[in-house]
C-alpha cells in the first residue's frame, strides 16, 4: 500500500528531489546549504503555499510537506523546516491580508513554541500584555536569520500567537549547540508583539510544526535506510554481500517496517491537515512514531554499517544527528506517548 499523489504533488516531489540531488556538492551525498537553499527558492519550492496574489503557487500543507520530506532525504542543511512549517504555513492560514503581504514576500520566518521543560505548551508561560512579550523560549531554529518570530504566548484573552522582531528591543538571543548544529534560546523582556491569531491559531501552529517535523523525519529515515541498503548490497564478507546474511536481512527488514509506518502516518496526518480535516490524532501518532522508533532505526543503520557508520566523512551521521534533533523538537517519546494517552 502506498499514498497516491496527484500529478501536481508528484511534480513537486520530482522537482524537489532533482534540485537537491543537483546541489549535492559536498562530496558525501548531502546538499550544501546556501546553494541548495537558493536553488529551492529559484525553483519556486519555497513559495508553494503562498497565495498566488503574493507570487506563490497557492498550494497547501501536503505539497509543503513533500518538499520537507525531500529536504530530509537529502539531509540538506537548509532552514526549510523553520521557514515553511513554522512560518509560511501559519501565516498563510491565519495572518491578516496585511500581515501576509508584509511577511510572505521573502522574509525569513521561524517560530518560538517550546519552553523550558514544556514542549509545545497549549498554555505558554510566555506572557503578552499591553502588546509586550515576556518569557523564555527554547529550541528555536534559525533565530539568527529570521526577520520575524511566531511566538506562542498567553494573553489576557487566552492563548495566542504573536509576531516579534528578533532584532528588536527586549529580545535576547543565546546560541546553543544541538546534534546537527545550533539552535537558540530566546528571552523576551517587554518585547513589542503584534497579534497574529488566537488559541485556534496556536493549535494550528503546533499542528503545522509537528507535520513539518514528521515530514523531515520521514525523509531522513528514508535517506538513511537507502544508504544502508546500498551498503549491504555492495559490501561483501566471506564472498557474499552483507545483505545475504540472515541476521542482517532481519534487522534491515525491521528498519524498513518502521520507516514505512512513519511514512504512512506522516502522509495521513499531512493530508488531513491540508484537507481541513481534524489531524490531531494522526499527528500525535506520527510524532510518537518519529520520537520512539526513528532514533532506534538510525542506531540499527549505524550498526549495520560497522565502523564505516562512525566515519565523519561518511554521510550517515548527518541523518542520525538530524533525527535526534527532530525527536527532541517534537517533545520526545514520553511526551508524545502522554499526548496519545490523554486522547484515550
- Residues 196-248 pLDDT 10s: 999 999 999 999 999 999 999 999 999 999 999 999 999 888 888 888 888 99
Q: Does residue 246 sit within a domain?
A: yes
pTM of the entire structure? 0.95
- Nearest Cα residue to 305 out of 316, 297, 313, 296: 316
**pLDDT at 32 exceeding the cut of 70:** no
Q: Does residue 192 sit within a domain?
A: yes
Q: Report the distance separating Cα 185 and Cα 280, nearest Å.
A: 27
Residues 242 and 311 in one domain: yes
Last-in-domain residue among 170, 197, 224: 197
Please give the grid coordinates belonging to residue 236.
561483501
Tell me the C-alpha to C-alpha distance, in Å, between residue 126 and each of 30, 123, 145, 151, 158.
37, 9, 22, 9, 12
Last-in-domain residue among 146, 171, 197: 197
Which CATH number characterizes residue 132's domain? 2.40.110.10
Q: Report the distance separating Cα 15 and Cα 72, nearest Å.
A: 15
Residues 278 and 328 in one domain: yes
Q: Does residue 245 sit within a domain?
A: yes
Residues 159 and 207 in one domain: no
Containing structural domain, residue 31: 7-76
Q: Percentage of the chain surpassing pLDDT 90?
A: 87
Residues 231 and 289 in one domain: yes
Last-in-domain residue among 177, 197, 217: 197
Q: Report the distance separating Cα 62 and Cα 186, nearest Å.
A: 30
Residues 13 and 123 in one domain: no
Q: Report the distance separating Cα 120 and Cα 99, nearest Å.
A: 24
Residues 118 and 61 in one domain: no
Dump pLDDT digits (tens) for 216-226: 999 999 999 99
Q: Report the distance separating Cα 167 and Cα 186, nearest Å.
A: 11
Residues 114 and 67 in one domain: no
**pLDDT at 146 exceeding the cut of 60:** yes
Give residue 238's region: left, alpha or beta (phi > 0; psi -120 to 50).
Answer: left
Q: Report the distance separating Cα 147 and Cα 104, nearest Å.
A: 11
Instruction: Compute and round to an integer the Cα radius of gyration of the chain.
Output: 20
Residues 35 and 130 in one domain: no
Residues 224 and 281 in one domain: yes
**pLDDT at 1 exceeding the cut of 90:** no
Q: Does residue 327 sit within a domain?
A: yes
Residues 302 and 215 in one domain: yes
Q: Does residue 216 sit within a domain?
A: yes
Q: Identify the DSSP state of 237.
A: E
Residues 210 and 147 in one domain: no
Query: Backbone phi, then psi, for 187, in 5-degree steps?
Result: -110, 130
Instruction: Name every residue whose Cβ is closer than 8 Å to that of residue 132 and which is 6 or more positions away in sequence.
Output: 170, 190, 191, 192, 193
Q: Does residue 332 sit within a domain?
A: yes
- Nearest Cα residue to 193 out of 168, 174, 172: 168
* pLDDT given at position 29: 46
Dump pLDDT digits (tens) for 266-325: 999 999 999 999 999 999 999 999 999 999 999 999 999 988 888 888 999 999 999 999
Q: Per the structure, how many domains does the chain have?
A: 3
Q: Percentage of the chain surpassing pLDDT 70?
A: 97
Paired strand residues for 173? 186
Q: Does residue 100 sit within a domain?
A: no
Q: Does residue 291 sit within a domain?
A: yes
Which CATH number characterizes residue 246's domain? 1.20.140.10
Instruction: Name every residue whose Cβ is closer than 8 Å to that of residue 124 and which is 6 or more positions away in sequence.
Output: 115, 118, 135, 152, 153, 154, 159
Residue 324 host element (H or E): helix 316-329
Residues 41 and 123 in one domain: no
Amino acid at each position: 500500500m502506498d499514498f497516491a499523489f496527484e500529478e501536481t504533488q508528484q511534480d513537486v516531489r520530482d522537482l524537489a528531489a532533482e534540485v537537491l540531488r543537483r546541489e549535492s556538492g559536498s562530496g558525501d551525498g548531502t546538499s550544501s546549504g546556501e546553494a541548495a537553499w537558493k536553488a529551492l527558492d529559484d525553483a519556486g519550492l519555497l513559495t508553494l503555499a503562498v497565495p498566488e496574489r503574493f507570487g506563490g503557487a497557492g498550494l497547501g500543507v501536503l505539497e509543503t510537506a513533500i518538499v520537507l520530506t525531500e529536504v530530509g532525504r537529502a539531509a540538506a542543511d537548509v532552514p526549510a523546516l523553520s521557514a515553511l512549517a513554522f512560518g509560511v504555513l501559519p501565516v498563510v492560514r491565519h495572518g491578516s491580508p496585511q500581515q501576509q503581504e508584509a511577511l510572505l514576500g521573502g522574509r525569513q520566518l521561524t517560530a518560538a513554541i517550546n519552553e523550558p521543560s514544556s514542549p509545545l505548551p497549549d498554555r505558554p508561560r510566555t506572557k503578552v500584555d499591553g502588546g509586550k512579550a515576556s518569557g523564555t523560549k527554547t529550541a528555536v531554529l534559525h533565530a539568527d536569520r529570521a526577520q520575524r518570530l511566531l511566538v506562542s504566548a498567553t494573553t489576557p484573552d487566552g492563548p495566542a500567537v504573536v509576531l516579534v522582531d528578533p532584532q528588536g528591543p527586549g529580545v535576547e538571543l543565546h546560541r546553543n549547540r544541538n546534534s546537527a548544529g545550533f539552535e537558540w534560546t530566546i528571552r523576551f523582556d517587554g518585547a513589542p508583539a503584534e497579534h497574529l491569531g488566537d488559541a485556534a491559531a496556536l493549535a494550528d501552529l503546533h499542528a503545522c510544526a509537528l507535520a513539518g517535523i514528521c515530514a523531515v523525519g520521514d525523509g531522513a529515515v528514508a535517506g538513511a535506510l537507502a544508504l544502508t541498503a546500498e551498503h549491504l548490497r555492495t559490501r561483501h564478507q566471506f564472498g557474499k554481500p552483507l545483505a545475504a546474511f540472515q541476521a542482517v536481512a532481519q534487522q534491515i527488514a525491521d528498519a524498513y517496517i518502521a520507516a514505512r509506518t512513519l511514512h504512512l502516518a506522516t502522509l495521513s496526518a499531512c493530508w488531513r491537515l491540508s484537507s481541513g480535516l481534524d489531524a490531531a490524532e494522526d499527528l500525535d501518532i506520527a510524532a510518537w512514531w518519529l520520537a520512539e522508533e526513528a532514533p532506534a532505526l538510525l542506531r540499527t543503520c549505524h550498526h549495520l554499517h560497522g565502523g564505516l557508520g562512525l566515519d565523519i566523512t561518511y554521510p550517515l551521521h548527518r541523518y542520525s544527528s538530524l533525527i535526534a534533533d527532530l525527536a527532541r523538537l517534537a517533545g520526545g517519546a514520553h511526551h508524545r506517548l502522554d499526548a496519545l494517552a490523554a486522547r484515550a
